[in-house]
Chain A
Amino acid sequence: MRTLLTCLAAFLLLTTPALAAETIKLGGFFDLSGRASFIGTPSKLVAEMLVEKINAQGGINGKKIELIIADTEGDPAKATTIATKFIHKDKVVAIIGPTLTDTGMSVKKIVDSGKTPIAMTVGGDPVIMGGKFGSYEWVFKSPQRSQTAVERLFTYLQEKGLTKIALLSADDGFGKDGLRWMEELAPNFGIELLIKESFGSRDTDMTPQLTKAKNAQPQAIVVWTTGPAGAITAKNAAQLGISLPLFQCHGLPDPKYIELAGAASEGNRMPATKLLIADELPDADPQKAIILDFIKLYTEKGYDKQFPINTHSGYAWDAIMLVVEGIRQAGTEPAALRQAMENIKNYVGISGIYNLSPEDHNGLGIDSMVMVQVKDGRFTLAD
C-alpha cells in the first residue's frame, strides 16, 4: 500500500508540471446565475466556442488553451473569491470576465495585487479609470466605454436637433456610470438634461418616473439600463401614451428586448455594435468578415436558439482575443503580457477595431458604434 502511494505521489509530482507547461490557463468567470445570467451564460458559451476554435487550429504558439469556468452569481463577494482562486490556486495567465460593473469593481484590487491581466466584459467605465476608482494597470475591457456610447448617442441627438432630454437611469453601477457621463458630456453637445430620474434595475413599474419625465416636456426620453427594466420602461411609456422618441443605451440592443417590450419597442433607437446589423454593413467594412464568421459559428453551435445574437455576444470573444493577441506577441509572463496587451493596435474584432494605449485600456472609438432602430420587430440601421 505504502509503495503504491509513494508511486502515486511521485507520478503526480512528475506529471503535474509537465501538464501545466503544455497548456495556457485562462480563468473565465461570468454571471451564470443571478440578475445578469442572461448576459453571462451566452458569454461563457462564446468563450468556450472560441477556445475550442483556437485549440483546433493548434493553440497559441503551439500551446493549447485551458479555460477554467466559474460562476460569479452577480455577487461582488463571490467574484473576489473566484478571482483570488484563479490567481493563487489555479495560477492562470489571464482572467476573462466578469459580467457586471459592480462585480468588476470588486476584483480590480485583487488582480492589481496579484499582477494578473484581466479582460473584463463589463459595461461601466470605472473599471478602467484611475484616480478615485483605483489603479487600472492590469484591467482591460472589451465592451465600449459608456463614455463612447454616450458620445455616439449625443452626436445622433444633436444631428436630429433633439436637445431637451429627460433621463431615466438605473441606480446600479452601470446606470450611475451612464448618468455621470451624460451629465458631463451634455454641455459639449448643446444638450440640456431637463429632468433626471432613477429606478431599480429590478423594478417592475416605472410609470411614476415616466409621468414626471413627460411633465418636464422634453423632446426625447433617454433610458440607461440593461436587462428587463428597459423593456418595462418602454412598455410603461406606451401605456401612458407618451409619443416622444425613446432612446435606450448600448446595453439593450438584443432581440430579447423586442420580445419583452413587444409593440412598445417599435421605433426605439439605441447605440449598438455592428454585430446587430451585420447584413446591412457595406462589403468594404473591415469588420464584416469576422462578424459574419462569428455569426456562422454561433449559429452552427445552435446557441442562437436560446440566446439570439445581441450586442453583448461578441464581447467575450474580443476579451479573449485581446489576451490571445498579447500572448502571441509577448508570451505568458504577466508583466510582458500586460504591456503587450496595452499596446495592441488595429486588432479587428467583432465589437470594433481595437487601438489600445497605456491611457486607454479599451481602445474602441465612437466609430465602432452605430445607431440602430427597431423596425417591424427587428433591428435596422437608424436613419
Chain B
Amino acid sequence: MSRQLWLASQDTKLQDGFFVHTDFLQFILSGLTTGSIYALIALGFCVVSNTMGIVNFIQVDFVTLGGMFMFTSLFTLGLPALPALVLAVAAVALVAMVLERIGLRPARSANHLVLIFLTVGLSIILRGLIKLVWGTNRMALPPLSSDVPVQILGASVLPQALWIFGLTMLAIAVLTWFFHRTSLGLCMRAVAVNPTAAAVVGIASGRIRLTSYAIAGALGGLAGVLVTPITTLNYDVGVLLGLKGFAAAILGGFGSFPGAILGGLGLGLVESVSAGYLSSAYKDVVAFVLLLLVLCVRPKGLLGR
C-alpha cells in the first residue's frame, strides 16, 4: 500500500472515530436531559412517600399543571420568562397544598390504601379541571431562552436542556439544604425515619404533610415548566412522564432522594443509548427489562433502604 493511500485510510478511520464519539455524546446528552426530568418527578414522589408512606398519583398532574400555569403567566399575564417560572412553580405548590388540605386530610385515615386511592381520584378530578380550563388542543410553550442549539464537543444541545440540567441541580441543592439545615426539613426527616417517635416528641403531622405536598407540587411543577417547551403541552402530558418518573423512583429505591436522581438519570440514559445503538422500536422494552432485572437482584432498588 502506498503511503498516501495509507494516510487516507487512517484519515477516514479518524473521521469514523470522530463520528462514533460525537454520536455517543449526543445520545448521552439527550439521555441526561430526559433523565433530569424523570429525576425531578421521582423526587416529588419520594417527598410524599417519605412523610406519608403513600404513592401520590397526583404527581403526574402537577407536571401538566406546571406547564399550564407557565402558559398562562407568559401569554395571559404577559410576564417575562423567569418571573413566570417562579409564579408557575409557586402556583402548583399552592394547588398541591390545597389538595392535601381539602382532598386528603378530611379523610382522617391512616390507611395507606385509602389515601392512595384518594390520590388516584383527585388526580382524575384535577385532570378533568385542567381539560375544562385549558382545552384539549396541543399548545406550544416557548423555551426559557433562545432555541438556537449550542455545540458541545460536536454534539448539539438545546439551551433549554442546559436550563433543565441547571435548574434540576439547583432544586436538588435547595432540597438538600432544606432537609439538613432547616428545622422544618429536619422535622420531615424525623417523620420519615420514625413517625411514632416524631409524634411523641410533638412534631405536628399536619404541617409536615402540607409541606411535603408543597414540595412535591413545586418539583412536579418545575419539571412541567422545564419539559413542556420540548414535549409540547396538553392536558395529559404529565401522565406518561409521570409513569417514567415513577419507574425511576422505583429503580433508585422508592423514598431515597439520591436514588431518585440516580434512577431518573439512569432510566433516561438507558432509553437514549438503547435507541441509538440497539433498536429504537424496543427502547422502552430495554429500559423496563433493565428495571425488572435491577429489582430482581436488589428488590429495594439501587439505593433503597
Instruction: Name A residues whose Cβ lies closer than 8 Å to a Cβ of B.
Output: 32-35, 37-38, 41, 171, 197-200, 202, 204-205, 207-209, 211-212, 215, 227-228, 231-232, 235, 238-241, 256, 259-260, 262-263, 306-307
Are A241 and B149 in touch, CB under 8 angstroms?
yes
Which residue from A204, A207, A241 sits with its C-beta under 8 Å from B227? A204
Known: A208-B275, A239-B156. A256 touches B230 (CB 8 A): no
Given A38-B234, A204-B230, A232-B232, answer yes or no on A256-B137 (Cβ-Cβ < 8 Å).
yes
Residues of A within 8 A of B157 (CB): 239
Q: Does B147 contact A (CB under 8 A)?
A: yes
Are A241 and B156 also in contact (CB < 8 A) when A32-B136, A228-B232, A256-B137 are? yes
CB distance from B226 to the nearest CB of A (A): 12
- Complex: A238 Cα to B30 Cα, angstroms: 14
A200 proximity list for chain B (CB < 8 A): 284
Whether B158 and A215, one on each chain, are in contact in the complex, defined by CB atoms closer than 8 angstroms, is no
**Partner among A41, A209, A241 whose Cβ is within 8 Å of the Cβ of B280:** A209
**A262 to chain B: which residues have CB within 8 Å?**
140, 147
- Bound together, the chains give a CA A232 to CA B227 distance in angstroms of 12
- Residues of chain A within 8 A (CB-CB) of B140 are 259-260, 262
Write out, one digit per residue, whether chain B residues 222-245 have a CB within 8 A of any chain A CB (1) or not (0). Answer: 000001001110101000110000
Separation of A241 and B156 alpha carbons in the complex (Å): 8
Determine if A256 and B158 form an interchain contact, defined as CB atoms under 8 angstroms apart: no
Question: Are A211 and B276 in contact (CB-based, < 8 A)?
Answer: yes
On whether A208 and B232 interact (CB within 8 A), knowing A198-B281, A228-B138, A306-B137, the answer reads no
Using CB atoms, name the residue of chain B closest to A307: B137
Chain B nearest CB from A218 CB (Å) reads 16
A231 touches B149 (CB 8 A): no
Q: Which of B261-275 contact A (CB under 8 A)?
A: 272-273, 275
Would you list which residues of chain B between 251 and 299 have a CB under 8 Å from chain A? Answer: 272-273, 275-276, 280-281, 283-284
Q: In the complex, which of the residues B147, B236, B280, B283 has the most CB atoms of chain A within 10 Å of its own CB atom?
A: B280
Q: What is the CA–CA distance of A240 and B23 in the complex, to the nearest angstrom?
A: 11
Closest residue to B239 on the A side, CB-wise?
Answer: A202
Chain B contacts with A in 38-72, Cβ cutoff 8 A? none
**Contacts of A240 on B, CB cut-off 8 Å?**
26, 149, 156
Q: List 11 A-B contacts (CB under 8 A).
A: A33-B136, A38-B138, A38-B234, A211-B27, A228-B232, A232-B230, A232-B231, A239-B156, A240-B26, A240-B149, A241-B156
Nearest Cβ on chain B to A298's Cβ, whole angstroms:
15
B34 sits at the interface (CB 8 A): yes
Measured between beta carbons, the chain B residues less than 8 angstroms from A41 are: 136-137
Give residues 121-164 of B contacting A (CB, 8 Å).
Answer: 131, 135-138, 140, 147, 149, 156-158
B149 touches A212 (CB 8 A): no
Would A211 and B23 count as touching, CB distance under 8 A?
A: yes
Closest chain B CB from A270 CB (angstroms): 17
Q: Which residues of B contact A241 (CB under 8 A)?
A: 149, 156
* A211 interface neighbour in B26, B33, B241, B284, Cβ under 8 Å: B26
Closest beta carbon of chain B to A19's beta carbon, Å: 32
Contact A306 B135 (CB under 8 A): yes
A204 and B156 alpha carbons, distance in the complex (Å): 16
- Nearest-neighbour CB distance to chain B for A74, whole angstroms, equals 10
B179 contacts the other chain (Cβ, under 8 Å)?
no
CB nearest to A40 among chain B residues: B136
Q: Which residues of A contact B135 (CB under 8 A)?
A: 306
User: B137, A199: Cβ atoms under 8 Å?
Assistant: no
- Looking at the assembled complex, report how far the CB atom of B110 sits from the nearest CB atom of chain A, in whole angstroms: 34
Q: Which residue of B lies closest to A241 (CB)?
A: B156
CB distance B280 to A199 under 8 Å? Answer: yes
Which residues on the A side are within 8 Å of B138 (C-beta)? Answer: 38, 227-228, 256, 260
Per the bound structure, the CA–CA distance linking A320 and B96 in Å amounts to 45
8 interchain residue pairs of minimum CB distance: A208-B276, A37-B136, A208-B275, A204-B231, A228-B232, A198-B281, A207-B30, A239-B149
A93–B202 alpha-carbon span in the complex (Å): 69
